[in-house]
Structure 1
């Protein structure tokens, strides 16, 4: 049991957590989101891009086996989280400098990004345990819905700003990447500052009562264990496509940087607008209900990308993807908090992430080999998109019925829940118009400016 915490410090810490999340999202928007695009700029192959996306996440997940030992050694979750965040931010410097590393630059990029991910991921169990304590007794669905909305707005703005910078420096692309990675570093330093201002509740540090092998052997007997297996297999399925989305858009769909950013960004916009709606629904009808609904509406996303490379279609698919993934991610995170205790949370989250990290790597490597040797469709990516769809459906059908709600909540039919969620969201046609037409107009404007500079179109004086 948690001892009574000073509520004034808790309230301030939850506000600081929102600010920390906002600056962390700015780092992701300016930095992480463009690692794959940077690799494409450096002429990486599809297999190398798959490794760049999956291997760092896997190593980061495995590193979490050391998290509990580090918490015990430092006797503080706050110290571990803050130190990891600070050093993680500094790694944007060597990542940006790999451009000068000759023929091995892709491998150096993979190495530096891997260290970056280890530093950022090894602190996850400590952060999850810490925020779990701070939100004890709080309506978590509502709080994280609001927190994620703020983070999403910042992430979206950062993403579009970074895309604009890269588009502006398209003739000197490396300069553009240096600028956005520098901004990402500064954002992480601000995130670090707000982490240091948060209150850390009293925490009893104990050795693990169960090892990784023991956890795996007992996984089928607990709700958290079943959920961990479910998410590992789902991530295996998802990572048949996730690492290859950027090269698909930039190489096969031939999008410029701004259009690429628009397609990525609209998914984030749909996610942040729908996150509070999912959060309130989770508080009322339970995380299991939200998880089940989103788990069966999310698998079709990769299949939809097979039908067209048209910018409007890609944006429409991303709107749908953002909505269903918002529910899946929020309910999944809350389900972890509901099925773990303060005493075991840091250890169990580490084991959970190890499973997911291994699954991510295996899925990405298999998909990369399929892409390399596949010639069945006009795009080498289509086959893995189709396989990912079937795997996601199979995983959801096999595991969702095994998950149980941990709280007493109201009951509601799935079709009614789906209808209520959709009617609480911004109108889809308005969201589509917001995304597509400015993207097309700005893309056209960029092209006109480029052609004007090259003397390919006449200068037209503005009418007075």
Structure 2
């Protein structure tokens, strides 16, 4: 990959002097290193937090809520990011500081695993700070990385960076699952969690170092000034982006009615081993990765809107499939299908939502999107948790959640009819995998500079109502 990065830097900058070339090469390499280390942290650490909560004895409801409720803290904290960036005078400083805080959150988890106990309030607080620091970096990092990567190499670079980061996520949770499976046969599980959290924390430290080594040629890009959220709300409400967002909220809430509770269901009701658990997660994640290139070509041929329909219809029956049978091989095939349709849904949604927005507003919109997305995520999980609690976390209670989630997803489909047909230029987008979930409904963040007209392009920004097709016509 390092050779590819060097070639990309040289290809884009024949007019640059030697220092500029060296800086670009170093920045691209460090960015790839950051993505790889971050991916390992996600695979080794965050993915197994619900399993750790179960292993340490906090119960099934907390195991479900630990991966959802703390997200709202991240959604709220990122709202102060623009002011923090202005106060620090640098996107880089804010990103590095938040990443360091996130790395530190593994220390109390290591201590708890070694001690063999932790109370519910403490683990929720740790997870909340972890997610607060994680999501707070997103908008600022998008702006910063857009000033580092030369425009002409962005599609290739971010595609390569995404693949490497996803591969590291995959390797991380695969290795973790094998270690936990080995440890479970030797009564060494909590100690193994301590080891995994320690390695995950070190990976985030490496990520922090890689971030700190990158330059910041434009601390506050003039085109990326914050936009009032009230105005963004009004503009969204008047356009197709608002209808897309309403659809997202409905789907996300429906999905999270059941989503957080698959992990406790697998361990406590199906009595899956760690090897079976990681296998089911791995096939869904791998199916997503392998399907994305083909889905990008499909979006190019048939349009992102049709792809969104396919994905939305496809994810509807996924949770209900767990009601029909709990046979491991049935679940394996369900997971493969789930990975593909979730990849289609996510790719189409991000393409339609963010490319329809003027490029100078995308970072502010990402902040708003994250807040609404996490709020929907938490709302759905609380509804599911309440139902599960009322049904005494019984086997029938879990099946009720899975069936209800599919019914709610089906109900959300009518919102798609209200969204007008939209054209987009892109058929791919860079992604950052922030969290991996059992059924493929992962938490991914778009890399905004991987889309057209982001940050430093010289053409004037389009007006708020201008479509991608209009931009193409204007450019010609």
TM-score (norm 2): 0.77
What does residue 183 of structure 1 align with? 199
For the residues of structure 2 that align with 1:225 and 1:196, how far apart are their CA atoms? 37
Match of 1:309 among 321, 326, 338: 326
Would the aligned equivalents of 2:60 and 2:393 in 1 still touch at CA under 8 Å?
no
- Report the CA distance between 1:176 and its aligned residue: 0.6
User: Which residue among 211, 215, 228 is the counterpart of 1:210?
Assistant: 228
Moved more, 224-233 or 89-98: 224-233
| Contact map agreement 1:145 1:278 (CA 8 A) in 2 | no
Query: Which one of 76, 89, 92 corresponds to residue 75 of structure 1?
Result: 89
- Whole-angstrom CA distance in 2 between matches of 1:248 and 1:255: 9
CA distance in 1 between counterparts of 2:217 and 2:408 reads 42
Residue equivalent to 1:440: none
Residues 118-197 of structure 1 correspond to what in structure 2 (within 5 A)?
Answer: 118-131=132-145, 144-170=158-184, 171-197=187-213
Q: 1:91 to 1:150 in 2, by over 3 A?
A: same
Structure 1 residues 316 and 138: alpha-carbon distance in aligned structure 2, compared to 1, 3 A threshold: farther
Match of 1:61 among 75, 97, 100: 75
Which residue of structure 2 lines up, in the alignment, with residue 20 of structure 1? 34
- How far, CA to CA, are the matches of 2:332 and 2:217 in structure 1? 43
Partner of 1:390: 407
Mapping of residues 317-336 of structure 1, within 5 Å: 317-336=334-353
For the aligned residue pairs, the C-alpha RMSD in angstroms reads 3.0
Q: Tell me how far apart the structure 1 counterparts of residues 173 and 313 of structure 2 sit (CA, whole Å).
A: 29
Offset, 1:65: 1.0
Stretch deviating more after TM superposition (238-247 or 75-84): 75-84
2:245 to 199, 219, 228: 228
Provide the C-alpha distance between the structure 2 equivalents of 1:138 and 1:385, rounded to a whole number of angstroms.
45
- Aligned pairs for 1:106-117 (under 5 A) are 106-117=120-131
**What is the CA-CA distance between 1:137 and the residue it aligns to?**
5.1
Q: Alignment partner for residue 246 of structure 1, among 255, 258, 263?
A: 263
Using a 3 Å threshold, how does the CA distance of structure 1 residues 331 and 193 change in structure 2: closer, same or farther? farther
* Aligned-partner Cα distance in 2 for 1:360–1:353: 10
Deviations 1:19-77 (A, max 9, x none): 32222111011000000000111222333223312221111111111111122222222
Report if the CA contact (8 A) 1:18-1:147 is conserved. Answer: yes
In terms of mean alpha carbon deviation, does 393-402 or 230-239 score higher? Answer: 393-402
Name the stretch that deviates more: 188-197 or 10-19.
10-19
* Gap regions ≥5 residues in structure 2: 1-11, 428-476
Match of 2:373 in 1: 356
Q: Are the structure 2 counterparts of residues 377 and 178 from structure 1 closer, same or farther at C-alpha, using a change threshold of 3 Å?
A: closer
Partner of 1:95: 109
Q: Distance in 2 between matches of 1:404 and 1:142?
A: 28
The farther-off stretch of 224-233 and 276-285 is 276-285
Residue matched to 2:285: 268
Residues 174-183 or 325-334, more deviating: 325-334
Number of aligned residue pairs: give it.
406
Task: Show CA shifts across 1:89-115 (max 9, x none).
Answer: 121111222347787622211110110
Question: What is the deviation of 1:13?
Answer: 4.2
Please say if residues 25 and 154 of structure 1, whose CA atoms lie closer than 8 Å, have aligned partners that are also in contact. Answer: yes
Equivalent of residue 296 in structure 1, options 278, 298, 313: 313
CA distance in 2, matches of 1:173, 1:409: 45
Paired position in structure 2 for 1:457: none
The answer (yes or no) to whether the contact 1:75–1:205 under 8 Å persists in 2 is no
Task: Please point out which of 17, 38, 41 is paired with 2:52.
Answer: 38
Of the structure 1 ranges 221-230 and 140-149, higher mean CA displacement relative to structure 2 is found in 140-149
